[in-house]
Structure 1
C-alpha cells in the first residue's frame, strides 16, 4: 500500500544530463529524466532533450523506479515527452516496456508527445502502444 505524498514529500529522481558528451560543434541538449510521485496515486515521468543510446540507460533506470510504483498499486502514470528534441529507437525500447507494464497492471498511461517524439512514434508504428492523450 502506497501512502499519498504531499508536494514536499515527492520522490524526485532526476538524472540530469544522462547523455554523454557529444562530438561536433553543435551538441543537442542532453537528456533529462525525472520521476515524481506518487502524489494522489499518480507517478509522472518527465523526459526532455536528446534521447539516444547514451541516454537510454538513464531512462531505463528511471522507468525501473517508476515500475516499482506501478507494481505497488498506483492509479495512473503520466509520460511527458513534450520537451524531447530527438528520439532514437534505443530510447523507445524502455518507453514501450513502460507502456506494456502499465497495460498488464491495468494502470492508465497518459502520454504527451513533442512533435519530434510524435513523428518517431508514428514512423515506428508504436502509436497504438504509446497513444497520446489517454
Structure 2
C-alpha cells in the first residue's frame, strides 16, 4: 500500500470549508464524506479530512485551538512561482487569509503562506532544483 497522509482539521462550517478547499484546487472524495466530515484530496498521497467540531471531539478530548493560533504549518509543493501566487490569491479571495507571513524569495525557492477560514496554516512553495544545486 502506498503511504499517504491524511491531515485532520476541526472546522466550524463543513460546507464553507469544503467550498474553500475546492476553490484552491482540492477535490472531494465522496467515499469519505458525510454530514460530519469531508475528505478533500490534494494529490494521490495527500488528503485533508475536514471534521465538524462534534466529530473532532469523538477522536480527542484535547481543546480545539483558536483560529488565531498556529499549531502547525503545512508546506505543499507547487509546479511554479505562478502556481504559488495563484493558490495564495485564491485562498485570500475565498474566505482564507493570504500572506499571513512575509513571502520568502530565495531565488531557487519561493514561498508564501495563507490560512483557511478556520486558521489552519498552509505554505505553498516552488523550488528550482537545478538552480539550488548550482548555488
What TM-score, normalized by structure 1, do the two folds share?
0.26
Whose radius of gyration is greater, 1 or 2? 2
Structure in which a larger fraction of residues adopt helix: 1
